[in-house]
Amino acid sequence: MNKTPLYENHLALNAKLVDFAGFQMPIQYSSISDEHKQVRNSAGIFDVSHMGEIIIKGNEAQKFLDRILINDIKKIDIWQAQYSAMCFEDGGLIDDIIVYRYPDHYMLVVNASNIEKDYDWLIANKEEDIDILNLSDKINILAIQGPKSRYVLEKLTDKAISALRFYHFYIGELLGEKVMISRTGYTGELGFEIYAGYRQTQKIWSAIIDDEEGLVRPVGLGCRDTLRIEMKYLLYGNDISSKINPIEAGLGWITKLTDREFIGCESIGHINNNQKMNLVCIEMIDKGIPRPGYEIAHNQANIGRVTSGTFSPSLEKGIGLVYILKEFSQPGTELDVIIRNKNLKCKIVNPPFYKRGSLRE
């Protein structure tokens, strides 16, 4: 079992640890609900060092990524990030990723469970003038999220962070350490990611959780899940997989099919014109929680299934992400969730569930 540089720190804080993508990771320190509200109202710090980092460099790096990725890599400038994905030839999703464009290379941040698969796919499609380096064992990530996150980090770093725009990044100093700081997020709140080495990660973590004003607390992957579901952010293995294509998953907005060719584009273009399923948001009317795998019915007929579901600490009701037949996917449509052999009412709502986040402040 793999461990992040903060494994001992998590033990000292009495975190509940679970196996996640081959790593011992903190699922919670207190309660998921309390940690969720901490991020929504102030700031929380996540250890997400299990994520993977793959470097793409060489004269043909942009051309290579333009063929590999579904989003148009040519649209981003140096020091800018982009949400994207990779697909197989049949349009099935290999992984969703974030791409960072440095002056002389690109970095792909990939899901922990997909590091080996993603790396193998990149190598299999490698071109001569490309170098591909898997640095997942050398780079660690701390994510500080919440409306107070900028204020907390301003006290520890250079002031460049104050001007950092959404989906941009820079190399700067934090507690005298040279690190990469980005602003993306997975919670719907203002947030930053700190990419650092082993020792740096330990030093920065300790300084942030010792904040004298008490504005930030350690938070686990449990509330990361409830936070991202409230925003309709997808989780690989739940909402997307090799059996799901980006059009069904609602990722048409990052699937650039015009004036370019990438692996899977022909299949995705066909699916785009013959779409059968939609990923939608459901909110419970009856009391209940739509868990992954639960069936969705309309007039006793099965029309879909839940892929992610939880009790929303912000809305105080059950919510879920659901794949259903396209003809039933209009907001306001009432459906049934089959929970313990009971038909419980829900309705389709527009995303995101939580609309008061500080993401772009």
What tens-digit pLDDT sequence spans the chain (361 residues)?
Answer: 899 999 999 999 999 999 999 999 999 999 999 999 999 999 999 999 999 999 999 999 999 999 999 999 999 999 999 999 999 999 999 999 999 999 999 999 999 999 999 999 999 999 889 999 999 999 999 999 999 999 999 999 877 899 999 999 999 999 999 999 999 999 999 999 999 999 999 999 999 999 889 999 999 999 999 999 999 999 999 999 999 999 999 999 999 999 999 999 999 999 888 899 999 999 999 999 999 999 999 999 999 999 999 999 999 999 999 999 999 999 999 999 999 999 999 999 999 999 999 999 9
Q: Which residues pair with 317 in a beta bridge?
A: 312
- Provide the pLDDT for residue 54: 98
Looking up residue 283, the CATH number of its domain turns out to be 2.40.30.110
Same-domain status, 41 and 152: yes
In b/e form, how buried is each residue of 54-88, taking b as 16+ CB within 10 angstroms?
A: bbbbbeebeebbbbbbbbbbeebeebebbebbbbe
Same-domain status, 212 and 142: yes
Query: DSSP secondary structure string, 271-297?
Result: HHHS--EEEEEEEESSS----TT-EEE
Same-domain status, 144 and 220: yes
Angle among Cα 300, 246, 140 to the nearest 5 degrees reads 115
Domain that holds residue 195: 2-51+138-230
Q: Is the peptide bond before 352 cis (omega within 30 degrees of 0)?
A: yes
Pairing assessment for the beta strands 23-28 and 43-47 based on DSSP bridges: unpaired
- Provide the pLDDT for residue 212: 86
Same-domain status, 18 and 72: no
| Domain end among 76, 100, 115 | 115
Same-domain status, 33 and 64: no
- Provide the pLDDT for residue 50: 98
Same-domain status, 45 and 59: no
Same-domain status, 96 and 208: no
Number of domains in the chain: 3
- Provide the pLDDT for residue 127: 83
Same-domain status, 145 and 210: yes
Same-domain status, 220 and 296: no
- Provide the pLDDT for residue 284: 98
pTM of the full structure: 0.97
Residue 243 domain flag: no
Q: Which residues contact 253 (CB under 8 A, 6 or more apart)?
A: none
Q: Which residues contact 216 (CB under 8 A, 6 or more apart)?
A: 42, 43, 44, 45, 144, 146, 148, 149, 152, 208, 209
- Provide the pLDDT for residue 1: 84
Q: Using CA atoms, how far apart are residues 149 and 22, in angstroms rounded to an integer? A: 29
Same-domain status, 83 and 155: no
Looking up residue 79, the CATH number of its domain turns out to be 3.30.70.1400
Residue 84 domain flag: yes
Alpha-carbon separation of residue 232 from 284, 292, 337 (angstroms): 15, 14, 18
Q: Where are the alpha helices (DSSP H) in 16-60?
A: 32-41
Cβ proximity of 121 and 160 under 8 Å: no
- Provide the pLDDT for residue 271: 87
- Provide the pLDDT for residue 97: 98
